[in-house]
Amino acid sequence: MVSVTGAVTARISQFQAAVQRMSLSRYCEPFAKDLSFTEAVSQYPDRNELYAYMHHYRWHLAPAEIREHRTYFSTGRRGFGEDAFHAMWWLLLREYRPRHALEIGVYRGQVTSLMGLIAKLCGFQCEVHGISPFSPAADAVSKYIKNVDYLEDTLASNRRFGLPAPHFLKALSTDPIAVEHIRSIAWNVIYIDGNHDYEVALADYKVCRDSLAQGGLLVMDDSSLYTDYNPAKFSFAGHPGPSRVVKELALSELRFLGGVGHNNVFTNA
């Protein structure tokens, strides 16, 4: 039997190891390096270490504007996601500088406004689009606030950060008008963060995969259940639908660039 003192000591050791692993110290090495997304994936091929680097980066290396943006959306249920994802998007878009960007499933505009903010800070032109019902419409694993004007709320967030309004289409991603819109542009980056049911996630993946520009990026949200990602208590591995799409199709059809938590990044290059 383990003594009470021994149990407490073990818990303290586990906590200290977790703190070190998640790089919460601003002086933690080698996480203090400001890397590109490609460099980060190369230096931290283990997705758990990569997540730790991104988590550290958001708190200690990201521009103040990026940190403030995450703070704004993480309060008042304005957005989901995790701190590490803001670093992921900053490093990814700073490196690839997309001309046309699309998000499937906008919710209250955290990622679409982040895309616009990163383009603004880095000085490149990025035409941001979003397809969403802008309503509390849910799926088998999600529920959303009902007393919100989602479209106006999203536009207000863009104004708050001094950004132009993105090109929004109020529709379900599987509606013919939405599918037509996706197919109308060769996208440099697409973020699939819509309905989590397998059939919808699969349909979104297929049309988006086929609509990427050469060398384009496809980021699948909530899709790391069947990977070796071991989430911390404040993290999440994903949902079955998107995770199944990644396991069955994306990993074999596209080139995997890296995984940050439950976000997986692919390219057709």
pLDDT digits (tens, 9 = 90+) for 209-227: 999 999 999 999 999 999 9
**Residue 252: per-residue pLDDT:** 98
- Residues 110-159 have pLDDT tens digits of 999 999 999 999 999 999 999 999 876 655 555 666 778 889 989 999 99
Q: Which positions ≥6 away from 128 have C-beta within 8 Å?
A: 101, 102, 103, 112, 115, 116, 119, 166, 167
d(CA 124, CA 139): 36
pLDDT for the residue 7: 44
pLDDT digits (tens, 9 = 90+) for 172-185: 999 999 999 999 99
List, in sequence order, every residue forming a beta bridge with 212; answer none if it has no partner.
187
What SS3 class is residue 142?
strand
Alpha-carbon dihedral 57, 79, 105, 162, rounded to 10 degrees: -80
Work out the pLDDT band at 30, boundaries 50, 70, 90.
Answer: low
- Please report the domains of the chain, with CATH numbers, ordered by start residue: 26-267 (3.40.50.150)
Q: Is 251 exposed, middle or buried (0-12, 13-18, 19+ CB in 10 A)?
A: middle
Percent of all residues in the chain with a pLDDT value above 70, rounded to a whole number: 85
Determine if the peptide bond prior to 164 is cis (ω within 30°): no
Contact at 8 Å (CB) between 243 and 224?
yes
- Tell me the residue length of the chain: 269
Judged against a pLDDT cut of 80, whether residue 261 lies above it is answered with yes
Q: What is the pLDDT of residue 143?
A: 62
How does residue 238 score in pLDDT terms, banded at 50, 70 and 90? very high
pTM, 2 dp: 0.87
What's the pLDDT tens digit per position in 48-99? 999 999 999 999 999 999 999 999 999 877 878 899 999 999 999 999 999 9
Q: What average pLDDT does range 3-20 have in this prediction?
A: 43
Q: Which pLDDT score is estimated for 149?
A: 85
Give mean pLDDT, residues 187-213. 97
SS3 107: coil
Question: Residue 18: pLDDT above 50?
Answer: no
Percent of the chain with pLDDT over 90: 75
Interhelix angle 150-160/64-74, nearest 10 degrees: 150
C-alpha separations of 68 from 21, 62, 83, 114, 127 in Å: 24, 10, 11, 11, 22
Residue 25 predicted with pLDDT over 50: no
Tell me the mean pLDDT in the region 217-246.
95
